[in-house]
């Protein structure tokens, strides 16, 4: 997706941030896609859960923190920012997670997005929004 490398570079520049790929589909197909995109060095979780937001919800602990699966570093975090290009991926996303829907041909259902999900036209808009959110 255009702007992906810039977004990853921005996140990498932040002191207390990390990123990974969460992708849906067969293990072999998704690993091939990640390798073809030259993203083999990025942490990646291949899930069989269509509604990625629902899977993210399972990572939430009783204290409100999120314990990331081993494929995504196995660390505990207080905030998750989830980016996807399919509206249905956000189903079940906890309200305290920030989401960005990158508009695409899959926009059917955009009106059913959780309140914490912001539609954007590009990944560059996410960098701008996150920089604004980080500025007190």
DSSP 8-state code for residue 13: H
For the CA atoms of 67, 72, 73, 75, the dihedral, rounded to the nearest 10 degrees, stands at -20
Q: Which helix (H) or strand (E) holds 80?
A: none
pLDDT band at 104 (very low <50, low <70, confident <90, very high): confident
Q: What is the mean pLDDT of residues 58-72?
A: 96
pLDDT band at 107 (very low <50, low <70, confident <90, very high): low
| pTM for this prediction | 0.90
Q: What pLDDT digit, counting tens, does each position of 4-45 carry? A: 889 999 999 998 899 999 999 889 999 999 999 888 899 999
List Cα–Cα distances, 43 to 49, 113, 117, in angstroms: 18, 26, 23
Q: What span, in angstroms and rounded, lies between the C-alpha atoms of 123 and 51?
A: 21
Nearby residues of 69 by Cβ (< 8 Å), 6 or more positions away? 45, 59
Please tell me the class of the 4-131 domain: alpha beta
DSSP 8-state code for residue 88: G
pLDDT band at 67 (very low <50, low <70, confident <90, very high): very high
Domain boundaries, the chain: 4-131
pLDDT of residue 135: 78
pLDDT band at 70 (very low <50, low <70, confident <90, very high): very high
Using alpha carbons, select from 13, 31, 12 the residue that is nearest to residue 71. 31
pLDDT of residue 80: 96
pLDDT of residue 110: 66
Q: What span, in angstroms and rounded, lies between the C-alpha atoms of 27 and 77?
A: 26
Using alpha carbons, select from 93, 68, 81, 63 the residue that is nearest to residue 126. 81
51 CB burial (10 A radius; 0-12, 13-18, 19+): middle
């Amino acid at each position: 997706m255009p702007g992906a490398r810039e977004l990853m570079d921005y996140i990498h520049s932040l002191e207390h941030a990390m990123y990974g790929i969460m992708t849906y589909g067969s293990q072999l197909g998704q690993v091939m896609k990640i390798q073809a995109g030259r993203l083999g060095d990025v942490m990646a979780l291949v899930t069989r859960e269509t509604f990625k937001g629902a899977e993210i919800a399972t990572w939430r602990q009783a204290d409100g923190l999120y314990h990331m699966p081993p494929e995504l570093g196995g660390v505990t975090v207080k905030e998750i920012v989830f980016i996807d290009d399919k509206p249905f991926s956000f189903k079940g996303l906890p309200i305290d997670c920030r989401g960005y829907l990158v508009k695409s041909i899959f926009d059917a259902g955009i009106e059913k997005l959780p309140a914490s999900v912001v539609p954007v036209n590009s990944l560059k808009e996410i960098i701008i929004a996150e920089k604004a959110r980080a500025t007190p």
